């Protein structure tokens, strides 16, 4: 239902955006004050009456994108150009640019494997509703947290489903178990085994990469003992789908890998389309190593990180 405030907001928005009047002119036309017009326009934005999109042609065509695609044999690279070099702005632009690429790749009756993490959640929040049908969204790894930090795995998958009119296949589990024996027992469950098999056979995988630092979300979810974290900090350079790897592309700490529930790096690399969305210069080595391991066919990163990857 549209109430009186909605009506006023719509009138102000149309005069301001469609007619091109200034806020002072809108105020005069509506018989209200200029601050009231400003509040009405902001209210209209919050209600979704108007959205503003910036189409930056650099995201799809740039020298950095071309050089990354050539160096790593990628099908497509899109570069995000944050307005400021802050973590928040980089994450926002990665979400916007990544969502645009994913929307272009998802087609009818496709199965889409989805990871989680802060970047993935930003992508999910930026996705727009599409008209595709018959899509299935599959969680590629467990996401239950043992700490106060959240993975936002359910929110991420739910938003992917809304964008692509899809049904979801969830993995309601922690991603790393206390023992390989416990993991093996859980994976015998018919539903869990079915979802894991779906993940291994998806048409498209969308995932991010993390660096190995004290700030890494995966290291703060209560899965790992302190001595394991210290060993990872010494030996690993990154993780993809919660699988840690070294600078030469080997599995870091097989004892942890054996307790991890989700798609393996080998199975991920076998999928036909693999979209890696990650940025921030601290992740440059993790991203570069993942690309050298042929884990991605498509890449989205920010311009500063792309330049740093090329310098490694």
Residue range(s) of every CATH 3.40.50.1360 domain in the chain: 57-311
For position 150, what pLDDT does the model report? 82
Kindly provide the residue ranges of all beta strands, DSSP E only, lying in 62-182, ordered along the sequence: 76-80, 111-114, 136-139, 167-169
Q: What pLDDT, on a 0 to 100 scale, did the predictor assign at position 21?
A: 86
pLDDT tens by residue, 203-234: 999 999 999 999 888 899 889 999 999 999 99
pLDDT under 50: residue ranges of the chain: none
Please report the pLDDT score of residue 182 as a whole number. Answer: 95
| Residue range(s) occupied by CATH 1.10.10.10 in the chain | 4-46
Q: Architecture of 57-311 per CATH? A: 3-Layer(aba) Sandwich (3.40)
Q: Give the pLDDT confidence score for residue 80 in this predicted structure.
A: 94
- Residue at token pair 């239950």: 144
Q: What was the pLDDT predicted at 145?
A: 78
Residue 138: alpha-carbon gap to chain centroid: 14
- The pLDDT value given to residue 286: 98
Distances (CA, A) of 197 to 89, 100, 204: 36, 28, 14
Please state the pTM of the whole predicted model: 0.81
Q: 4-46 — its CATH code?
A: 1.10.10.10
- Residue 57: per-residue pLDDT: 59
Q: What is the model's pLDDT at position 179?
A: 95
Q: What's the pLDDT at 100?
A: 95
User: Coil, strand, or helix at residue 168?
Assistant: strand
Note the pLDDT of residue 230.
96
pLDDT for 122 equals 95
Q: What integer pLDDT is reported at residue 53 of this predicted model?
A: 66
């Amino acid at each position: 239902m549209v109430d009186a405030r909605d009506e006023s907001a719509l009138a102000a928005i149309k005069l301001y955006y469609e007619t091109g009047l200034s806020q002072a002119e809108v105020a005069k036309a509506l018989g209200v004050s200029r601050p009231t017009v400003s509040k009405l326009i902001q209210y209209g934005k919050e209600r979704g009456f108007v959205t503003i999109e910036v189409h930056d042609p650099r995201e799809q065509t740039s020298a950095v994108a071309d050089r990354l695609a050539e160096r790593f044999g990628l099908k497509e690279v899109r570069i995000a150009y944050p307005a400021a070099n802050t973590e928040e702005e980089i994450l926002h632009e990665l979400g916007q640019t990544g969502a645009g690429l994913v929307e272009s790749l998802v087609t009818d009756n496709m199965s889409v494997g989805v990871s989680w993490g802060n970047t993935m959640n930003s992508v999910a929040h930026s996705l727009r509703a599409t008209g595709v049908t018959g899509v299935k969204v599959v969680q590629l790894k467990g996401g239950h947290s043992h700490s106060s930090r959240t993975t936002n795995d359910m929110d991420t998958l739910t938003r992917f489903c809304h964008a692509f009119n899809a049904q979801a296949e969830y993995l309601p589990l922690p991603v790393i178990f206390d023992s390989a024996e416990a993991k093996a027992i859980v994976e015998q469950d018919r539903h869990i085994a079915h979802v894991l098999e779906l993940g291994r056979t998806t048409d498209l995988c969308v995932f991010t990469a993390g660096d190995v630092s004290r700030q890494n979300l995966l290291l703060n979810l209560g899965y790992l003992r302190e001595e394991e974290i210290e060993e990872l900090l010494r030996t690993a350079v990154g993780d993809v789908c919660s699988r840690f790897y070294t600078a030469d592309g080997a599995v870091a700490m097989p004892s942890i890998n054996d307790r991890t529930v989700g798609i393996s790096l080998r199975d991920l690399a076998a999928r036909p389309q693999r979209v890696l969305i990650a940025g921030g210069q601290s992740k440059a080595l993790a991203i570069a190593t993942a690309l050298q391991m042929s884990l991605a066919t498509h890449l989205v990163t920010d311009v500063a990180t792309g330049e740093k990857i090329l310098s490694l």
